[in-house]
């Protein structure tokens, strides 16, 4: 068996492989071994340059690896090469530009370069398709595209979120159709990504990597790679266990947020501060930790939490298992934006505000703070519903490109917080960007002094807002009025 410390593929060689007394002909070109090569001399290719691929590429480049990033969106590639990062993520943008300039990180649309890579990591998107199933089109196309360039002994790691059985029953058969035997010609592993946007680089450095393989050797090689990178690993017994781990994480989060949002509504109905209840409830020891209600908010957005529960529900259904709780949680969290709009409209009516003469200011269009990602952002639905009811809506988000907001809302975004809040009768904080956490954002604004402040992320002290002359609301918080 070839040692893993590999240098580069020679695409011309056809290699006679000896394993014990077994002699067979490999159809793949050889990755020539070099036991003297250091780990940082390994070439790494990352296919799919979205959030996960970008963070991973920067992280590996920081560790000294030569990284080739491949994506089929030529426009994004050209913008990155021109020094225009395609996303905003703390501790990523500046490093990305630096590594691209130094060519430590190379970016291309061609798959040919993977011939010079020892490790290939796939991070392409797997969106929600019809009937709540996973759309594996991008993944299947990616695997088909890389097959002509794979070399003997390479390690192929999948990090895209997948329904259980996808690596074994979808990816492996594609490889085999191309004459590539997983676990022998190349080593196939699934290691799910579990990063939270807005804190992705920190989590990349700190979170343990869940590791599995098509066989024991594939799992061991993947584990060895991540350890050489400097990360802790959590080996699991099968590909399916690793695939389920990612889904289990996000189902837990979605269900927990739904439970917190339900608790918040009960607390609101009796004038109790849900955050007070949650703080006390979370002190109870239970199992290996404590009761852990998450914070109620404006709904669930982003790519993963809004689709992964459906992946699990759909997979369970294929095994004649009916899962109820994830579906209920999805419905609860999907309804939160409508609940918020109804609350704002009701409170404005109490102030005799007529929609056509009323301005509502939205601070934050991304689905959460410290990210530019607007996928499934609750702000989209909130803005849409407010606009359809006749309110004039202003939007400001310093993390999101103006053209994105225009394209998705038909609203020209404000150029500053002051511009956004001017003459507003209601202020909605829908993303917890650091720029919004200073109380001066509200105190120095030109908003109407009788305005409502809806603090969707619990970033302000309610008493401070009331002292400024505003009414304060937040999910589950006791409503405080400036009477």
CA-to-CA separations, 257 to 53, 196, 267, 380, in angstroms, rounded? 27, 15, 15, 19
Q: Are 58 and 105 in contact (CB under 8 A)?
A: yes
pTM: 0.89
Q: Are residues 252 and 323 in the same domain?
A: yes
Instruction: Check residue 82 and give its pLDDT.
Output: 80
Q: Are residues 233 and 253 in the same domain?
A: no
The domain that contains 273 carries what CATH number? Answer: 3.40.50.720
Q: Are residues 339 and 309 in the same domain?
A: yes
Output the six-digit token pair for 398.
């310093």
Instruction: Check residue 35 and give its pLDDT.
Output: 33
Containing structural domain, residue 467: 243-483
CA–CA gap between residue 271 and residue 89 (Å, rounded): 38
69 assigned to some structural domain: yes
Q: Are residues 283 and 135 in the same domain?
A: no
Instruction: Check residue 104 and give its pLDDT.
Output: 94
CA–CA gap between residue 6 and residue 26 (Å, rounded): 17
Q: Please count the structural domains in the chain.
A: 2
Q: Are residues 314 and 354 in the same domain?
A: yes
Instruction: Check residue 478 and give its pLDDT.
Output: 60
Instruction: Check residue 483 and give its pLDDT.
Output: 58
1 assigned to some structural domain: no
Instruction: Check residue 3 and give its pLDDT.
Output: 32
Q: Are residues 434 and 331 in the same domain?
A: yes
291 assigned to some structural domain: yes
Query: Which of 237, 258, 286 is the last residue before a domain boundary?
Result: 237
Query: Which of 237, 260, 294 is the last residue before a domain boundary?
Result: 237
475 assigned to some structural domain: yes
Q: Are residues 208 and 333 in the same domain?
A: no
Q: Are 240 and 171 in contact (CB under 8 A)?
A: no
Q: Are residues 270 and 185 in the same domain?
A: no
Q: Are residues 322 and 376 in the same domain?
A: yes
Burial class (CB in 10 A: 0-12, 13-18, 19+), 451: buried
The low-confidence residues of the chain, meaning pLDDT below 70, are: 1-40, 478-483
Query: Which of 237, 256, 277 is the last residue before a domain boundary?
Result: 237
306 assigned to some structural domain: yes
Give the catalytic positions in this structure. Answer: 246, 304
Q: Are residues 295 and 434 in the same domain?
A: yes
Q: Are residues 404 and 443 in the same domain?
A: yes
480 assigned to some structural domain: yes
34 assigned to some structural domain: yes
375 assigned to some structural domain: yes
Q: Are residues 308 and 324 in the same domain?
A: yes
């Amino acid at each position: 068996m070839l040692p893993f410390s590999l240098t580069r593929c020679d695409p011309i060689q056809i290699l006679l492989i000896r394993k014990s007394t077994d002699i067979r002909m490999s159809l793949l070109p050889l990755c020539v071994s070099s036991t003297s090569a250091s780990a940082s001399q390994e070439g790494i290719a990352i296919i799919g340059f979205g959030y996960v691929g970008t963070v991973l590429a920067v992280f590996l480049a920081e560790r000294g690896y030569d990284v080739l990033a491949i994506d089929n969106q030529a426009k994004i590639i050209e913008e990155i090469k021109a020094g225009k990062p395609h996303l905003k993520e703390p501790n990523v943008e500046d490093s990305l530009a630096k590594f691209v300039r130094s060519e430590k990180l190379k970016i291309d649309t061609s798959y040919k370069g993977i011939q010079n890579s020892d490790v290939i990591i796939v991070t392409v998107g797997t969106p929600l398709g019809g009937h709540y199933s996973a759309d594996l089109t991008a993944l299947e196309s990616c695997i088909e595209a890389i097959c002509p360039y794979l070399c003997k002994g390479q390690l192929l790691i999948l990090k895209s979120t997948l329904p259980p059985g996808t690596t074994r029953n979808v990816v492996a058969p594609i490889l085999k159709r191309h004459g590539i035997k997983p676990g022998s010609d190349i080593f196939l592993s699934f290691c799910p990504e579990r990063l939270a946007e807005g804190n992705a680089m920190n989590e990349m450095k700190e979170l343990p990597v869940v590791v599995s393989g098509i066989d024991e050797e594939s799992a061991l090689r993947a584990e060895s790679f991540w350890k050489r990178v400097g990360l802790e690993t959590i080996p699991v017994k099968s590909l399916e266990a690793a695939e389920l781990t990612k889904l289990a994480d996000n189902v837990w989060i979605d269900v927990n947020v739904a439970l917190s949002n339900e608790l918040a509504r009960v607390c609101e109905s009796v004038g109790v501060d849900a955050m007070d209840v949650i703080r006390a409830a979370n002190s109870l020891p239970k199992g290996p930790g404590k009761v852990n209600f998450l914070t109620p908010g404006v709904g669930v957005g982003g790519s993963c939490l809004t689709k992964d529960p459906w992946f699990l529900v759909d997979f369970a259904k294929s095994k004649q298992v009916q899962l109820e709780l994830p579906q209920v949680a999805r419905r609860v969290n999907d309804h939160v934006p409508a609940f918020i709009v109804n609350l704002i409209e009701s409170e404005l009516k109490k102030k005799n505000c007529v929609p056509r003469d009323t301005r509502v200011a939205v601070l934050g269009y991304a689905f959460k703070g410290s990210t530019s990602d607007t996928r499934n952002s609750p702000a989209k639905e909130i803005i849409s519903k407010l606009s359809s009811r006749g309110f004039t809506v202003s939007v400001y988000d310093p993390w999101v490109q103006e053209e994105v907001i225009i394209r998705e809302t038909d609203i020209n975004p404000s150029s500053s917080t002051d511009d956004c809040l001017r003459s507003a009768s209601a202020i909605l904080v829908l993303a917890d960007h650091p720029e919004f956490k200073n109380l001066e954002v509200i105190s120095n604004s030109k908003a109407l002094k009788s305005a409502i402040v809806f603090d969707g992320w619990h970033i302000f002290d309610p008493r401070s807002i009331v002292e400024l002359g505003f009414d304060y609301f937040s999910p589950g918080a006791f409503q405080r009025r400036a009477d």
